[in-house]
Every structure is written in C-alpha cells, then in structure tokens.
A and B are shown apart, each in its own frame.
Chain A
Amino acid sequence: MKQSHVIALIMLIIAAVIFISASNDVSSYATFASAQESGSRVKVVGELVKSKEIVYNPSKNPNYFSFYMKDDEGSVKKVVLKEARPQDFELSESIVVTGVFKDNEFAADEILLKCPSKYNKDEITLRKSG
C-alpha cells in the first residue's frame, strides 16, 4: 500500500470518529416535559405568553429576568434568565432558550429571539408635517 493511501485511510478514520462523536453534540429541541424528565441542558423553543407577568427590575437586580413561555406542546412554564432583558423582547415571534429545568422553572443561560424584521417592509413612514 502506498503511503498516501495509508494517510488517506487515517484521515478517513479520523473524520468518521469525529462525526460519530459529534452526533452527541446535536439534539432536537426539547419540550418542557422532556427537559424536566432528563434534567440535562437542552434547548426549548416556544413563544412568549404575553398575558402573564414579565419581570425585570433592573434597579433591584439587573441579572434577573423572568417570563412565561409556551412550548410546542402547549405547556406553559416560567423561564428565568440570569441576565439583562434582551432588546425588543416583546416583539419576538419565537424564543429559543438553552438551560436546565429545575424546581418547576426553566433556568436559562442563553436566549435567542426570532424577531420580525425591524422595519415592516410594507409600512410607509409619513413625513412629519412642518
């Protein structure tokens, strides 16, 4: 066997090992129920429940933000984020939170908002008179 073939084979094996090991890095979005069951760090996708309270009181604690989110299965849980409230939070169409479910609330350390485009493309801005 040629050396180059040996090398290519080694490379292929490395690549295969990497891809097999990397498959542990991916998962489907969890739901609150499955997060509660597994107790591990997961991503949950859902939408903001606007009728329930959204707490952010920066003058007391700028690193505590909580809200209620409805996941894809329709279950509503409190989500606590130990960070500042993200910009345009209420405009979000969907929310992805990453964290752990404990004590009947979801403790998130990461949040990603999917917001509608900042400018509604079919909305005309009128010039201010005068």
Chain B
Amino acid sequence: MTEIEYVGEHLLPGRIAQFSLLLSFCSSLFAAFTYLAAARSKDLTTKNNYTQWARRGFYIHAVALLTVIATLFYMMFNHMYEYRYVWEHVSDNLDMKYILAAFWEGQEGSLMLWMFWHLILGTVAVRICGKWESGVMGIVCLMQLVMGVMLLGVHIELGDTVIKLGSNPTLLLRDTMTIPIFNNAEYLSLITGNGLNPLLQNAWNTIHPPITFLGFASLTMPFAYAVSGLWSGEHKECMKESLKWSLFSTGILGSGIIMGSAWAYVALSFGGFWAWDPVENASLVPWLLIVAGLHTNYIAINTGRSIRSTYLFYIFALVLIIYSTFLTRSGVLGDTSAHAFTEMGLESQLIAFVLIFLGIGLISYFVNASSIPKKEEEESIYSREFWMFIGALVLLLSSLIISVSTSLPVFNSLVSYFDPNYIGKVIKDPITHYNKYQLWIALFMAILSASALFMRYRAQSAEYLSKSKFGKHMLFATLGGLALVAAYYSGFPQATWPYQLLLFALGFSMVASLDYILNVVKGNLKLGASALSHFGFSVMILGSLISGLNQHHISTNPFVYKEIFDDEDIKKYVSLIKGKPMFMSNYWVQYESDTLQGLTRTYNISFRKDSDSEEADFYVHPNIVYDQKFTKIAALNPSTKMFLTKDIFTDIAALHPSLQDVKFAKEMEDTMKFDKHYLTPGEPLELEEMEIELLGVNKDPKNKDYEHEKNNFGFEAELKVRDKSNDSISILRPALGLQGSLIYSYPIKSQEMEAVFKIDEEFFNQVYTPESQLNYLQFQLKEGESFRYEGLELKLLGFDRNINHKDYTEEDGDIAIAAMVNVSSNESKELLQPVFIVRGNKSFGLKEVSDLHNIHLRFLSLDPQTNVFNFAVAKEPIKSETLPLLLAENVDRTDYLIFQARVFPGINLFWIGSLLMTLGVFLALYQRNKVG
C-alpha cells in the first residue's frame, strides 16, 4: 500500500507533546533517582550535590509535563480531530466553557490533572521543606514516575504476549484504528469528534475534579513525610512538619468529596447526596484515615506518643487512594457501581501502582520502626490523648468496614480466578448495610470529639476535671442532646431508637463544641478550630439524618389514581400534562412551557399554593439534552428549588417515547391510521367525537411550521373544529407546501382531541395547475389600449421601472419593466403587474396570477420601436372546492412529562455543617503555620 498524504493534519503539536511526554518521563526518573540518592546519603556535600541535580531534573519534568498539558489543550481548542484524545472528548458543538471538563473526562486527562497537582505541591515543597526536601521530593517524583508510565503507551513484546504500558494521549486517531475512512486523504474534513458526555456538561464537573485530584495529590505529602521520617529517624521533628500537610489534605480532600456529593445531588438524578457508591466510598476511606492520622499527629506533637500509628495512617491513606483509583479505573466494580468508568486495560499496572507504594511504606516502617521512642508508662484515661486515640481507632474501624464491603467485587474476582465455579456475592441493600454500622461510628465520634475537647494532654489524674468544671460542661451538653431529640419530635415523625441515640449524641456534641468555643477559648476561633470542626461534623451528620429519614415524594396525586389502581401503585411519578395544573401535597403544579436552545430543551414548571394566583410561588426548570445528532435524549437534568429549611428536588423521568427517540417518532407516524373525509365550505362534517367545518383555503399559510422561504408555493386550509367532549372550538390550519418538485405536508396535531389533521396531497393537483396545462392566448397592446378576454377587460395603463413582483430579486445589469394592466369585470377590478426582464443576453418574464379573476397574465416581450407590448393570458380551470382531509384519531398525546418532586428537609444543615468542618480544618492549618 502506498503512503497516503493526508490533507489538513497538524502533526507538529503531536510531535511536541510526544517529545515532552518522553522528556517528562525521563526527567522524573532522573529526579526520583537523584532525590532518593540525596535522601540516603549521610554526607552533607554529596547530599547537596544530589539535591541540586534533582531539582534541575524536577523542574525539567515540570516544564515538560506542563508542555504536554498545554499542547493537548491547544489541540482540543482547535478541534484537531486527527488526535484520538481530542476526537474522543471534543466535538464541533462543544461549548468551550466545558473544555476543562472535556480534558479530564478521559483517564489520561484526569491522570495528568493529578500529576499537575503534584507539580504544584512539589514546587511548594522544594521551597518550604528545608532538610526534608530530598526524601519528600523523592517520593513525589517516584509518584510522577509510576503515573508517567501510564501515559507512555509503550507496547513491549515478550514472545507472544504483548504488554501494554499505559495509554498515550498524543496518538493520532488513524494510528489507533483501522477503518476504511482513512483511505481517504481528506478524511479529516469529514469527521467530527465524539464530544463530552452530556451528563458531564455542567459547572460541577469543572470544579469538582480539580479539587478532588488536589486532595488525591495532597495525600502524597503526609506519606512522603512518614517515609522520610522513618528513614531519617528524626521522628519528633517529622511529626511537627507533617501535620500541616495532613491538615491541608483533610481540608481539600474533604471539600472534594462534599463537592462530589453536591454534584450528585444537584445535577444528577441519584436522588440524594450520598449513596454509598463504591466510587464515593473509595475516596471517603482515605479521608477517614488522614483524619485519624491528623489526630494521632496532634497526640504525637503534644505527648510524644502515637508516632507509630500516625506513620501507618499516613501510609495507608495514600495506598488506599491509589487503591480507589484501581477500583474505579480497572473495571473490577462491574455492575455494582452507578459510575460508568471505561476500562483502559491497565488493571495489572494499577495493581503494581498500589503494591509499589504499599511496599515502600511498609518496608520503611518495619525496617525503621525500632528507632521510634517508646513511652513506658500507660496513658491515663483522664488524658485527652487517650480518648483521641480511641477516636482514631473508631475512624479506623469505620474505614475498615467500608473498605471491606466496597472490596467485595475484588474479593469475588480473586476467588473466581482460582475457582471458576464460584458465584460472586453482592450486598443486598447497600445503603441500609452501610448506614446500619456508620450510624454507631457517627455516634461515638460525636460524643468523643466533643468531650475530649474539655480534657488535657498528659493528665494523670481526675483532679483537674473538677477544677475545670468538666461535670458542668457535660451536664450542659447532655441537656443539649435531650433538647435536640425533643426539637426533632416537634417537627418530624418518630425515628427508631438507634437514630434517637444518634440525635442525642449530635445535640450533645453541638452544645459541647459551642460551649467550648464560647466559654473556654472565649470566642477565639483560631484556638477553637478543632471545636469548630467537630461542631460542623455534628451539624453535617444532623443534616444527613434529617434529610435522609424524612425525604419524601410530593409528586403523588392519590385522587387521580385511587380509582384506577391499588394504593401500592401510587408513588413517585406523575404525568404532568402541559397547561393542566395538578394538585400534589399542598401545591398546584403546572407544566407551563418549554423552550429549545441548541441541544437543550428546558421546561418551565410552576408551583402554586393558591391555584388562582397569577404569579406562581416558584418555578423549577429541569431540562433534557439531546445527543449530537438530535435523535435521542442523552441526559435528563433535574432542577432543585432551595429553601432555608428544605429543598424541593424535581426531575423528569421520561417524556412520550416519540420525543425521546426519533425511532419512536417514526414508528408513531407510521402506525397512525388516517381516514379520508371530503369537506366543502358550509357543510360541517359530523363525527362521533368532533364536528369539522371548512372555513376556506388560502395561499398564505400561517401554520407555524410552514417556512415561506423554503416553499415555492403553499396552501392552507382553515378548519373550525368543535370538540364534542367539552364543546370547545378551535381553529386549525393544516397546510401543504411545494419545495422544488416535492410536496411537503404540515399537519396539525390536537393534543386535547388526540387527533391529527392533514390535507391529502391530491389536493395540490386540485388547486395548483402546472404551466404546461394552461391554455395561453397571445395578444398585443399599446399604452392605453384594451383587450377583451372571457368577459374581462384588460387595459394597459403604462409601465413601471420599480419592480414589486414577489418573485423578483434584482441583479446587477438587469433591465426590468413591469407592465401595469388593469383587469376589470362588471363587478370588480384590479391591477396586475407582470414583469419583463433582460438579464445579460437572456430575457424572461414573471407572470401575475389573479385569484379574483382566475387568470394568469404573462408579459412576453416589447418592441421599443413600435411601443407594442406582447402578452399572454390563460384562464385558470374551474376547481372543485372540496378539501380531501386526512384525519387520524386516538393518537397518543405527547405533551406531558413524567415528573417527580421530592422534598429534602434540613439538607442545608448538611452543607452548612460540612462548610464549618472544612473551615475549622483550614483555621487549624493557619494556626499551625503560625506556630511553625
């Protein structure tokens, strides 16, 4: 085969990206190696020497990786579909505000986002880590190296087996598949990209992934400190440094997770903010571990204990975030997750990724753990560290339970690897399963986190407790707990006893934390950062408890369905007919209108407390997004109305099938059964359901679908239709149009009457006489003369050089004259202006048609010498006035939505609580930085 010279390809950006990718990989290898060498060397000069080289390597790596990212963006911005990654994630009609979302839609892009954050964190670390730089950066660069392999896309052939290392985002589309289109040198002008999945086209997808991946990347830092601390043996100093990074990590990863749940709640139809989906769990577990590590780190700083557990928590936090990547990207979750991540064929590479860092962490720990100082004496149960440590253990227990349950699919595939007959197991009711256990975790956390605030580090006896009025604070908190339980019952139905206990614990914790902030640190939030976080945690759990236990559908209309169906069927969804208000739980809800913009159709739905009021209490705007070809619905987006005390979440579940998919629309059209009726003006047609009267036929269609520019010619019938069921009268205007030689029909559908009205195409021949069938008679006139034709007088009044003929469009050099011919009969007269045109060396005429006198008049030519004008006139044949009407009855109405509305009470507490918790973490970080 000869090499094809493709047209329009831009090969340079690809080469730049390819080269930079390789350079970034090699330089990360160099930097990792030299940094680790620096970390291992005892001699200061050698260490500095290595570090100097390593820094250079890291900066080259950074620049190279940034170049790859920038080049990819450049390709995406410019729709260079010759590159596979661009073709996969961008399309012609993709709004550029989603370019970021498109970039990290793919695995390669999200991996680069993660690596990008490592660059930023690494650059900061080089500046502020001081003597910890070599060890910490060694780990960062190692991370970049291992992740870099996943972008290489190298195929290694070992005998018969091909090992594929990574997936390269800079490849050309035509190098990744063999299909006939690539035989065409101009293939590029023919193709467009796949574009971003419409479900991902929203603002959340621009903000949530970068925060989450910064959270992921930030977990590398505590791990790196743990490992460096173990290597160096300077454990106490290490603890002081690592705390900042783990606080940062807690805050950012926590924000990322919360944003993810906000996205799931607001933009996706998951129906809630937390579903214990494996993907959610996978990032929650490392967060729980880093929080546990954060607390033992505080213990380590304040008492010198718990250094070991801090190291282990930090090591496992990173290992588990890598494990989460394995879970979500390897396809092992199969059908247990709602998140549709595609497989990249990198399972074994991802397993290696997990094992490498698990190995580094554990080996470093077990080799060096003996150098960690041991405290001989027991922790006293009166000390703060004792209870904080218990708290960390509770968090560990929580993450253990979640991890094991989430890993069930991994367990299944492991066992079936050895035993092919093994039938995999699944959790029957995931949400109940997780809630059942995590409820107790939350309860213990609430009590521990609040009461430990009032205890002191290193306390050996109970003596201080009475002095600091510990009992009084606890009594106060207990009253708070009881008050919350009481308050809950004033507003919501009774909950089961474990939930009552949890409510008590949350009230206890909220009051105790506030008490601490107000009375112990006297409102100084910087000193009370931990109390603020603990308070936020309790508020957050309270919000999820209230909204989780009390969310309910309001989109039920028992009155409508009761007679037809059993009670069991009355649930969740209602069909909302356009323009017809429906009563549901105190609201009159009405589907008012819809508007189409681009590929999105937005619905306007009103909620009214009082059915008569003009202005609705509020509106919701759920929408649907069609796919690129406009043939199917690609996404249904919910809409949430937020109030202070509750949210009303609304969602369209379905439309009439014909509106969901053109396939069904076609099917519906094909199966419509039309009956033909002949209508004459003044003689109404009586049918069982309706009465139809033809008011007239005109040539100026006002039918809203009829486009005057497209049609050469058109007719419209004006029908007066009376619906017998409710005696309402409507005027309907079905139309026919001629485009070239094709007849187009513009039927009218009445949703109310469930009928379609259409003019039979045969009517066209009845009204429209082709030129060839007209019998023209030629005649000559001079100005002022007249001609008699079939009882009409045609008089030439003169001529006009201003042409107003509807079919005339002026061109340069035209010589055009309109003849002014007065046509009169005994009863009527009118002015016709046929046109004669000389254009270049051609001449032609534009005829005038008179509906009044039923004639066609042509201006054939003129003789400038004699001033004689040549005309031709023809009589329009007499036409039958009957209209052949096609009528289909019992056609499904399509103007409705399958709609659900749910109330989530108290959900704002969840958001406020998580905000306060995060705020507390960052305040603690600020405070920690000042302490130094």
List the A residue with the shortest CB-CB distance to B627.
A118
Q: Are B191 and A125 in contact (CB under 8 A)?
A: yes
Residues of B contacting A: mostly = mixed
Q: How far is the CA of A114 from the CA of B400 in the complex (A)?
A: 28
Q: A22-B433, A26-B425, A28-B424 are in contact. Are A118 and B197 (CB under 8 A)?
A: yes
Q: Are B179 and A14 in contact (CB under 8 A)?
A: no
Interface residues of A in 108-127 (CB under 8 A from B): 112, 114-115, 117-119, 121-122, 124-127
List the A residue with the shortest CB-CB distance to B894.
A59
Interface residues of B in 569-591 (CB under 8 A from A): 569-575
Q: Are A41 and B378 in contact (CB under 8 A)?
A: no
For chains A and B in complex, what number of residue pairs have CB atoms within 8 angstroms? 139
List the B residue with the shortest CB-CB distance to A83.
B572
Q: Are B428 and A62 in contact (CB under 8 A)?
A: no
CB distance from B893 to the nearest CB of A (A): 7
Q: A84-B654, A122-B177 are in contact. Are A61 and B426 (CB under 8 A)?
A: no
Q: Which of A8, A94, A126 contacts B192 (CB 8 A)?
A: A126
Q: How far is the CA of A85 from the CA of B892 in the complex (A)?
A: 17
Q: How far is the CA of A112 from the CA of B337 in the complex (A)?
A: 9
A20 at the interface (CB under 8 A from B): no
Q: Are B437 and A64 in contact (CB under 8 A)?
A: no
Q: How far is the CA of A87 from the CA of B893 in the complex (A)?
A: 20
Q: How far is the CA of A96 from the CA of B429 in the complex (A)?
A: 13
Q: Are A126 and B191 in contact (CB under 8 A)?
A: yes
B154 at the interface (CB under 8 A from A): no
Q: Are A14 and B572 in contact (CB under 8 A)?
A: no
Q: Are A126 and B423 in contact (CB under 8 A)?
A: no
Q: Which of B162-170, B401-409, B503-511, B870-878 contacts A (4 or more CB under 8 A)?
A: B401-409
Q: Which of B88, B190, B194, B572 contacts A84 (CB 8 A)?
A: B572
Interface residues of B in 181-236 (CB under 8 A from A): 181, 189-194, 197
Q: A11-B393, A124-B179, A126-B190 are in contact. Are A63 and B573 (CB under 8 A)?
A: yes
Q: Which of B62-70, B143-151, B560-568, B783-791 contacts A (4 or more CB under 8 A)?
A: B560-568
B902 at the interface (CB under 8 A from A): no
Q: Are A3 and B896 in contact (CB under 8 A)?
A: no
A104 at the interface (CB under 8 A from B): no
Q: Which of B593-601, B628-636, B675-683 contacts A (4 or more CB under 8 A)?
A: B628-636
Q: Mark each residue of chain A from 47 to 62: 1 if its CB lies under 8 Å from any CB of chain B, else 0.
A: 0000000001011111
Q: Are B561 and A61 in contact (CB under 8 A)?
A: yes
Q: Are B335 and A96 in contact (CB under 8 A)?
A: yes
**Total interface residues in chain A, CB < 8 Å:** 48
Q: How far is the CA of A63 from the CA of B189 in the complex (A)?
A: 47
B838 at the interface (CB under 8 A from A): no
Interface centre among A14, A15, A59 (most CB of B within 10 A): A59
Contacts of A43 in B (CB 8 A): 426, 428
**Total interface residues in chain B, CB < 8 Å:** 65
Contacts of B193 in A (CB 8 A): 125
List the B residue with the shortest CB-CB distance to A119.
B194
CB distance from A62 to the nearest CB of B (A): 4
A98 at the interface (CB under 8 A from B): yes
Q: Are B425 and A82 in contact (CB under 8 A)?
A: no
Q: How far is the CA of A85 from the CA of B573 in the complex (A)?
A: 11
CB distance from B174 to the nearest CB of A (A): 11
Q: A18-B401, A43-B426 are in contact. Are A121 and B88 (CB under 8 A)?
A: yes
Contacts of B564 in A (CB 8 A): 60-61
Contacts of A117 in B (CB 8 A): 340, 342
Q: Are B397 and A15 in contact (CB under 8 A)?
A: yes
Residues of A within 8 A of B (CB): 2-4, 7-8, 11, 14-15, 18-19, 22, 25-29, 41-43, 45, 56, 58-64, 82-85, 87, 94, 96, 98, 112, 114-115, 117-119, 121-122, 124-127
* Pairs of residues from A and B, 6 with the lowest C-beta to C-beta distance, nearest first: A84-B653, A62-B573, A25-B433, A28-B423, A62-B898, A114-B335
Can you list 12 contacts pairing A with B, beta carbon distance less than 8 Å?
A18-B397, A25-B432, A29-B424, A41-B428, A58-B898, A59-B656, A63-B573, A83-B572, A124-B179, A124-B181, A124-B191, A127-B191
Residues of B within 8 A of A (CB): 88, 91-92, 177, 179, 181, 189-194, 197, 334-335, 338, 340, 342, 378-379, 381, 386, 389-390, 393, 397, 400-401, 404-405, 408, 423-429, 432-433, 437, 561, 564-565, 568-575, 628-629, 633-634, 636, 653-654, 656, 892-893, 896, 898, 900
